[in-house]
Structure 1
Amino acid sequence: MGDAGTSERWQRERGSRPVRIANCSGARGDPGYQMRRQATQGPIDFITGDYLAEMNLAENAEKMAVGQHDGWEPTAWDGLEQTLDVLNEKRIKVIINGGALNPSGLARKTQALVTERGYDLKVAYVYGDDCRDEVKAELERTNKLPQHLDGENNDISLMENATALLDTKGKPIVSANVYLGARGIVKGLELGADIIICGRVADASPVIGAAWWWHNWTDKDYDQLAGTLIAGHLIECSAYATGSNFAGFDEYDINNFVDLPFGIAEVAADGTSVVTKHEGTKGLVNVDNVICQFLYELQGPIYLNSDVTANAKDLQVEQVGKNRVRLSNVKGYPPPPTTKLAIFYRGGYESQILFNATGYGTKKKYELMQKQVRFGLKEKGLEDKFQLLDFQELGTPAPNPRSQFESTTYLRVFAQTDHEATLYGLLKTFSEFAMQHYSGMHLSLDMRTAFPRSYLAFYPGLKSQDELQEGIAVLSRDGSVAQKADAGHPSAYQKLQPRENYETADPVDLASLGETVRVRLGDVVLARSGDKGANINIGLFVRKDSHYPWLKSFLTRSRMQELIGDDWRPDFFIERCEFPNLLAVHFVVYGPLGRGVSSCRLLDALGKGFADYIRDKVVDVPKSIVTDMQAIKEMRRANL
């Protein structure tokens, strides 16, 4: 049994101080010991975890249907199994979305362990996110697609195959899940739940639910909910708030980034928060890294959630202690009337093969390979049978190389088709021309990717919130449902507005900023990028107020297109906005990721490397800014 004194103290403190919420996962691979660490390394009230990327559910849906997968994420169960004793002792509550496709299954497995150990803990699960049967039936009945997430933007061209979902026979739906908010979670906590297992709730919803209940907010306390949404956005992604994926890592002792802790948010009654970590752990929580993480996977200053619309344009981020960063000045408004609907369907088949070339004449070698392949496909009548056939040149041979590795690059031939036979025809073409190859051609050792495999495609839609059937089920000790409660719907909505897109209102004449030098953009700018369906977002910022007039004048939409270089395509579109308090300029580039991560043609399917690609570009920067940044970096290195 748990410590009654601990439980009573916990109840007395509820609402009288900031709630301390520790995140234990941002992806399905995060190990169970991260949950136990958060529970044992310092005082906390809640543990939250986000185990789901957009493609997790779909990848496991077909396996679950034939009994080859439990539907929930194994690492979520691992964390609960490792941590249950501590949860009971310290009365720490847990809210995670590791239930994935089968939240009721993971809840019952957890309840069985609770009962076995004789603990007085209530286990519950949120239901209502799985809309597969409903979406499938509606699509077959009407032959009309749900409204696309980007459909209201008239400047955007949807990708060529974006409507392939209409082929309900050839490309059947595998999964369809709506992004739920925190309402079911709050209901569960009101019913006394200690462990709440969710499926596809929005990434920040567990954090919002914990703070909402702790501070006894209403669903119209929009500023408080909005501030918590941003706090949840910051800590939900594993160690990203504590040093992972940090563009400025090279300015610090690299050993500090080995075995990182995960983030904690202390959310106050007014919705402001402090992002931190347990004392005595590695990593760092500072303004630079927190801004990087804030700029990750944004659509712009308006952050949408099922419970609230947050306007973070004037967000304030300030260091208030060692490894303590305070967030404030977020405005909240009613949520949108719709929520995201993630539909995955069988897109067809894909394959890839890698051809290596060494040094001299590389461009001509790859040109010859492409001509040979296209000739062979035309002879077989297959040239126009592909959804996609890409010849991607990766790498640049080093000049005057010191090793063959330095001199070697590769050609990635990536293909997608409706039928396996087309890809076998491509493989046969490769084999027929194998001994007619360019000078020095060699292959990667693993040829398995050259054979067809099925792939899943993504359609991001919208669903009316008033149509949701969200609720919470609390289990009895034998695993049966003891109590159910409907989550209800938001009491008010705010219509979606077009996303902001503008150049700076007060540009300066770049020539007036004095002498410039040619340096890499990353020498003076930090950045973070990520995926948003078909799109890539990127936020770039400087670290001194005096540098910002240059940055916002320099980084125009046309400049971003120029920096994208040969990767730019005519059907892409760029949105731009600014975060003046963060000294940041933010862009969304529509289109580079095609139909999303699971079917993307790019190696960087998550868009995470895009920021460092842009930072690697050599540009003209005022010498004064370069000198300032050199001094800042030298000071940090001196303190290592």
Structure 2
Amino acid sequence: MGSIQRPVRIANCSGAVPDPGDHMLNQAKYGQVDVITGDYLAEINLGNDAEAYAKGGHPGWIPTAWDGIQKTVDIANEKRIKIVINGGGLNPKGLAEKTHELVQSKGLKLTVAYVHGDDSMHKIHDLLAKDEALPHLDKANSNVQLAKDTKEFIGHPSEMPIVSANAYLGMRAIKRGLDEGADIIICGRVADASPVIGAAAWWHRWRETDYDALAGALIAGHLVECSTYITGANFAGFFKHDISELLSLGLPIVEIEASGDCVVTKHDALNGFVNADTVKCQLLYELQGSIYLNSDVKADITHVRVEDEAKDRVRVSGTIGAPPPATTKLAVFYKGGWQCEMVVNATGYATQKKFQLLEAQLRGKLKDWGVLDKLDIVDFQWVGRPEANPTCQLASTTYLRIFAQSRDRDAIAKVLPALGYNTMQHFAGFHSSLDYRTAAPRPFLGFYPAVIDQSGLEESINLIDQTSGKVRKIVVGPPKKTEPIQDREDYEPTDPVDLRTFGETIMAPLGDIALGRSGDKGANVNCGLYVHSDEEWDWLRSLMTKAQMRKMMGSDWQEWYHLERCEFPDIKAVHFVVYGPLGRGVSSSKILDALGKGFCEWIRAVHVPIPKRFLGQKGDVAKYHARM
């Protein structure tokens, strides 16, 4: 490892496309930072923009990223702040050239660079022609059953053409660019945490084999990659805070030490808060178990520690690193076919029977017309349940979401007419918004998470000369040392405690004791739950077996799903991955919570037998639920 110096202060400026450029400016304006990084690319962005970009109708890069650069470049130059973002999207070269022109027009002495190598569309047909075409990310897990039609597109390249294929790159090109003097680096599909890892590796002069340090930076990047998710947003404990504390949130900063350990913080002048709870919740977001993968390093977070150090300062330590896998994720989007959806309402009495009648009417007419069998999915989702003895009509009203998909556009086009055919035979009190624009057939993209050998990628940093504008390309190559991915840890409670020893219980929401977070990973949903005291931890880990999670999922549990469980004892968390609920992924999932963000909040709302003495210690939570 290189020489030890002060921690590098890295400020995040974005977690998704909608995050405005003001965040980048604020991170530069309201305090000293060394590097600003931003993650703009949810998995769906590249697929959504691919066709328009190919036809010249989209710049390929993310407009909010460009907005941030325009607003920030002067102050970044003044304060000598580096900027590393993946807002280049499908066209990092284009955004880099535009940024270079801006820098030149202002007379600033800044070197702009861009990372290439993630776009794999030029080789997709060669990948499809291999004996094992595009192996699925979960292929190695023999217990996982993929959703229906997951691989259908591979055998129908003309009917279901691929529109984008981008490999998740690591930090190697980013670090090399900073080593070579780049001030602004524009990336395409690098992994969410890669800009943070690259910045820390450059600052501390880490070698490629400094795995513990790299792993710590990977987790630091994971913690701040989602914008305000760690400063008060998407926070399970938000209800303990005044609304004013949750408005206009500032974004996080991470101070990464030479060891890879870090402190998560924020600018004092900006609203929001950082504490051990917000950090633990974000740590548990979108995990796949105890090993966090990146194309540069594997991070073992089994014994990660999260500790309040001071107001708005939380120390994170205990991550262990190992060589990366020889492969990386390849996000493939393809034209999946057509879909439609519509919503109808029912009020009050016998709602279940009302929705059963409507479903029977619609299915019957689609069958009469010979199109029911042509629908790959036709789903009827009863959203909400009417309040008993309602205080107003809305409290008694719930809705039925009708969702259909097919590769046959004409079959989808028949769904709304089938509903209309029975319009005047509707159930008592049928009503809707009368707006059925979503019922018209519209194309959708399927998502397929594949794996690709890193050795087959040409990952490069491309530096634009300040004076001549000429580009100097440096190919960084794959990691020099790799090791196979091991099976994910999956086990029931270690040394479980007899639940009877905790004394008298009360049926109450799990959320009265546990906080947590959930998210999507392709077809899968993760859910992490944690508590605060040692006694609560003995109870939680003993209660939350895989059988208990299946029970709490109720009728949503399907026998073809697979469930994995592990524990993070140092933060008192139990973690689950449910394989399968999101079908073919967020862009084509039939479920309302296609990103899996609501899953944990649902599980926290399920009643379990909680020891009475625990609830006595959580009176503020219990009172909140009583008011609800």
Deviations 1:434-456 (A, max 9, x none): 11111111122321000000000
- Out of 157, 160, 166, the residue aligned to residue 148 of structure 2 is 160
Are 1:497 and 2:489 matched, yes or no?
Answer: no
Percentage identity across paired residues of the two chains: 52
Match of 1:578 in 2: 567
Are 1:602 and 2:591 matched, yes or no?
Answer: yes
Query: Retained in 1: the 8 A contact 2:110–2:466?
Result: no
Match of 2:400 in 1: 411
In 2, Cα distance between equivalents of 1:445 and 1:477: 58
Match of 1:130 in 2: 119
In 2, Cα distance between equivalents of 1:42 and 1:633: 39
- Out of 93, 96, 100, the residue aligned to residue 82 of structure 2 is 93
In 1, Cα distance between equivalents of 2:422 and 2:477: 63
Are 1:61 and 2:47 matched, yes or no?
Answer: no
Match of 1:556 in 2: 545
- Out of 40, 43, 51, the residue aligned to residue 40 of structure 2 is 51
Match of 2:328 in 1: 339
Deviations 1:108-164 (A, max 9, x none): 00000000000000000000000012113431x347531110011111101111012
Q: Which amino acid aligns with 2:315?
A: R
The 5 A counterparts of 1:413-562 are 413-477=402-466, 480-562=469-551
Match of 1:244 in 2: 233
Query: Retained in 2: the 8 A contact 1:112–1:479?
Result: no
The 5 A counterparts of 1:604-619 are 604-619=593-608
In 2, Cα distance between equivalents of 1:513 and 1:382: 57
Q: Which amino acid aligns with 2:509?
A: R
Task: Call closer, same or farther: CA 1:20–1:257 in 2, change over 3 Å.
Answer: same
SS at match of 2:497: coil
How big is the shift at 1:254? 2.3
Deviations 1:286-313 (A, max 9, x none): 1111000000000011000000000010
How big is the shift at 1:14? 9.5
Deviations 1:191-225 (A, max 9, x none): 10000000000000000000000000100000000
- Out of 113, 120, 137, the residue aligned to residue 149 of structure 1 is 137
In 2, Cα distance between equivalents of 1:49 and 1:250: 28
SS at match of 2:443: strand
How big is the shift at 1:366? 0.5
Match of 1:10 in 2: none
Query: Retained in 2: the 8 A contact 1:108–1:479?
Result: no
Q: Which amino acid aligns with 1:216?
A: R
In 2, Cα distance between equivalents of 1:633 and 1:254: 19
Query: Retained in 1: the 8 A contact 2:115–2:185?
Result: yes
Match of 1:8 in 2: none
How big is the shift at 1:419? 1.4
Are 1:370 and 2:374 matched, yes or no?
Answer: no
Query: Retained in 1: the 8 A contact 2:197–2:221?
Result: yes
How big is the shift at 1:477? 3.7
Match of 2:209 in 1: 220
In 2, Cα distance between equivalents of 1:16 and 1:553: 44
Query: Retained in 2: the 8 A contact 1:145–1:163?
Result: no
In 1, Cα distance between equivalents of 2:623 and 2:267: 28
In 2, Cα distance between equivalents of 1:482 and 1:511: 69
Instruction: Tell which deviates more after alignment, 602-611 or 474-483.
Output: 474-483
Task: Call closer, same or farther: CA 1:249–1:34 in 2, change over 3 Å.
Answer: same
Q: Which amino acid aligns with 1:364?
A: K
Task: Call closer, same or farther: CA 1:512–1:479 in 2, change over 3 Å.
Answer: farther
In 1, Cα distance between equivalents of 2:480 and 2:471: 28
**Across the two proteins, how many residue pairs are aligned to each other?**
622
Deviations 1:29-58 (A, max 9, x none): 000000000000001000000000000000
Q: Which amino acid aligns with 1:146?
A: L
Instruction: Tell which deviates more after alignment, 478-487 or 362-371.
Output: 478-487
- Out of 205, 230, 234, the residue aligned to residue 194 of structure 2 is 205
SS at match of 1:21: strand
Match of 2:101 in 1: 112
Match of 1:3 in 2: none
SS at match of 1:598: coil
SS at match of 2:202: helix
SS at match of 2:43: coil
Deviations 1:539-582 (A, max 9, x none): 00011112111000000001000001111111111100000000
Are 1:262 and 2:265 matched, yes or no?
Answer: no
Match of 1:181 in 2: 170
In 2, Cα distance between equivalents of 1:502 and 1:369: 44
Deviations 1:217-250 (A, max 9, x none): 1000000000000000000101011111010011
How big is the shift at 1:468? 1.2
Instruction: Tell which deviates more after alignment, 143-152 or 321-330.
Output: 143-152
SS at match of 1:346: strand
Task: Call closer, same or farther: CA 1:79–1:347 in 2, change over 3 Å.
Answer: same
In 2, Cα distance between equivalents of 1:528 and 1:136: 38
Match of 2:370 in 1: 381
Match of 2:91 in 1: 102
Query: Retained in 1: the 8 A contact 2:522–2:585?
Result: yes
- Out of 62, 81, 102, the residue aligned to residue 70 of structure 2 is 81
The 5 A counterparts of 1:277-292 are 277-292=266-281
How big is the shift at 1:280? 2.7
Match of 2:298 in 1: 309
In 1, Cα distance between equivalents of 2:479 and 2:590: 39
SS at match of 1:351: strand
How big is the shift at 1:631? 6.5
Q: Which amino acid aligns with 1:460?
A: P
- Out of 9, 15, 39, the residue aligned to residue 26 of structure 1 is 15
Task: Call closer, same or farther: CA 1:254–1:633 in 2, change over 3 Å.
Answer: farther
SS at match of 2:102: helix
Deviations 1:404-440 (A, max 9, x none): 1111111111000011100112222111111111111
In 1, Cα distance between equivalents of 2:127 and 2:495: 49
How big is the shift at 1:281? 2.1
Calculate the TM-score normalised by the size of structure 2. 0.97
Deviations 1:325-360 (A, max 9, x none): 001111100001110000000000000011111111
Task: Call closer, same or farther: CA 1:444–1:145 in 2, change over 3 Å.
Answer: farther
Q: Which amino acid aligns with 1:123?
A: V
In 2, Cα distance between equivalents of 1:277 and 1:444: 43
How big is the shift at 1:480? 3.9
How big is the shift at 1:184? 0.5
How big is the shift at 1:634? 8.6
Instruction: Tell which deviates more after alignment, 142-151 or 453-462.
Output: 142-151
Deviations 1:442-482 (A, max 9, x none): 12232100000000000000001111100011112478433
Q: Which amino acid aligns with 1:429?
A: A
In 2, Cα distance between equivalents of 1:478 and 1:386: 59
SS at match of 2:450: strand
Task: Call closer, same or farther: CA 1:173–1:337 in 2, change over 3 Å.
Answer: same
Deviations 1:506-540 (A, max 9, x none): 10111111111111111111010000000000000
The unaligned stretches of length 5 or more in structure 2 are none
In 2, Cα distance between equivalents of 1:200 and 1:487: 16
In 1, Cα distance between equivalents of 2:591 and 2:457: 35
In 2, Cα distance between equivalents of 1:480 and 1:163: 44
The unaligned stretches of length 5 or more in structure 1 are 1-12, 636-640
Q: Which amino acid aligns with 1:443?
A: S
